[in-house]
Amino acid sequence: MKKVNLAVVGATGMVGRTFLKVLEEKQLPIENFYVMASARSAGQKLTFNGREYIVEELTEHSFDKPIDIALFSAGGATSAKFAPIAAEHGCIVIDNSAQWRMDPNVPLIVPEVNPEDISWNKGIIANPNCSTIQAMVALKPLDDKYKIKRVVYSTYQAVSGAGVAGWQDLENGLKGEAPKKFPHPIANNCLPHIDVFMDNGYTKEEMKMIWETRKILHNENMKVTATTVRVPVFDSHSESINIEFENAFDMADLVETLKNAPGIEIKDDVKNNVYPLALDAAGKDEVFVGRIRRDESVENGVNIWVVADNIRKGAATNAVQIAQEVIKNMK
């Protein structure tokens, strides 16, 4: 496998630091490694593969040196400005922000689901929303086999999805302090409000799940709806997904289909209280699926419960997996 020059942009943030951890674990073939961030974080020291690196300030000239792949997790405005500059220099950007996800010229990738879309990138590849990624891993094998007609998402999302400030709101809220990140206390509470509200009454997070599902599964007409909720959990998103199919299915066959799908671990033994839990998913890369049962209110429906670490599979791990696919295809 070709050795690459790789940069992490936004290296000091929650996802950026997890990029470093996952890159170490996956042992990508890296020749030269760079860590970049805003002027505020420049000069900090980060350890990667036992070596200390000094964080460089991200500027218009950061990509003058040869960099093959850059993992970005520095927010939409930074991506909007610097991803095209990197791409112009021949670097492939894998971007974790929402900036490029719905751009028709930018592939939106979950490697277990649509790796073939990487081939038409023009220098920027988008990493989907955390809540979308884990859903796609579970939905793709079912869509291939039974053709999905309609999806209803209800999500229970960890505070780490809102970054360090979200984490601190829960930590401090449990001590009785007022929230700084969220509009209401998150401790002992559930907030049906992630991102901003849009004119149609949905939050942007809900619309992201709807739009991204259609794009990744290549079905603009798929009926999708969502309610996304922030819950007082530090790590790992949980999702109740109700799926209606065009075609009939056998339950044992459906479970077997999920069992054999890449990236999925089945935890579904309700007699022994075994089902996916946020606590168990934290720190892992798999998407855990359980509570698999027929929806008896419709002709061809099923309910599943899907849990994954939102900072790993929902962000850093997925981006690193994309990088692995890119390297595999490099001449």
pLDDT tens track for 164-185? 999 999 999 999 999 999 999 9
Q: Where are the domains of the chain?
A: 4-128+315-328, 131-310
Q: Provide φ and ψ at 34, rounded to 5°.
A: -130, 140
Residue-level pLDDT at 174: 98
Inter-residue contact 94 to 127 (CB < 8 Å): yes
What residues pair up with 220 in beta bridges, in sequence order?
A: none
Mean pLDDT of 148-161: 98
Model pLDDT, residue 39: 92
pLDDT at 38 over 80: yes
Token pair listed for 196: 């901003």
Mean pLDDT of all residues belonging to the chain: 97
| Strands 148-157 vs 237-245: parallel, antiparallel or unpaired | antiparallel
Let me know the angle formed at the C-alpha of 27 by 162 and 44, rounded to the nearest 5 degrees.
Answer: 50
- Sequence letter at residue 151: V
Q: What residues form DSSP beta bridges with 134?
A: none
Q: What is the mean pLDDT of residues 63-91?
A: 97
- In the chain, the percentage of residues whose pLDDT exceeds 90 is 98
pLDDT confidence of residue 238: 98
C-alpha distances (whole Å) from 309 to each of 198, 206, 327 are 27, 19, 25
Please compute, for residue 136, the number of CA atoms within 13 A of its CA located in the half-sphere on the CB side: 30
Indicate whether 148 pLDDT > 80: yes
pLDDT band of 72, cuts 50, 70, 90: very high
Instruction: Compute the distance between CA of residue 110 and CA of residue 134 in angstroms, rounded to an integer.
Output: 9
- The per-residue pLDDT for range 188-211, each reduced to its tens digit, is 999 999 999 999 999 999 999 999
Query: Quick one: tokens of 158?
Result: 């960890």
**Contact indicator for 322, 25 with CB cutoff of 8 Å:** no
Instruction: Determine the Cα angle at 178 with ends 172 and 179, to 5°.
Output: 80
Residue 1 has pLDDT above 90, yes or no: no
User: How does pLDDT run across 115-127, given as a tens digit for each residue?
Assistant: 999 999 999 999 9
Q: What is the mean pLDDT of residues 46-68?
A: 97
* DSSP-assigned letter for residue 204: H
Q: Quick one: fold of 131-310?
A: Dihydrodipicolinate Reductase; domain 2 (3.30.360)
Above 80 in pLDDT, residue 331? no
Q: How many CA atoms lie within 13 A of 260 on its CB side?
A: 10
Residue 200 CA: distances (Å) to CA of 101, 196, 203, 228: 20, 12, 8, 15
Residues that are catalytic: 130, 237
The stretch 45-67 carries a mean pLDDT of 97
CA 205 to the chain's CA centroid: 12
pLDDT digits (tens, 9 = 90+) for 231-270: 999 999 999 999 999 999 999 999 999 999 999 999 999 9
Percentage of residues in the chain having pLDDT higher than 70: 99
When pLDDT is cut at 50, 70 and 90, the band that residue 2 belongs to is confident
Integer Cα distance of 177 and 266 in angstroms: 39
CA atoms within 13 A on the CB side of 242: 12
Record: fold of 4-128+315-328: Rossmann fold (3.40.50)
CA 131/CA 49 separation, integer angstroms: 30
Mean pLDDT over 294-317 rounds to: 98
Provide Rg for the chain, Cα atoms: 20
Burial class (CB in 10 A: 0-12, 13-18, 19+), 277: middle
The pLDDT assigned to 168 comes to 98
Supply the DSSP string of 78-121, one letter for each residue.
Answer: HHHHHHHHHHHTTPEEEE-SSTTTT-TTS-B--TTT-GGGGGG-
pTM of this structure:
0.96
Distance CA 38, CA 74 (A): 8
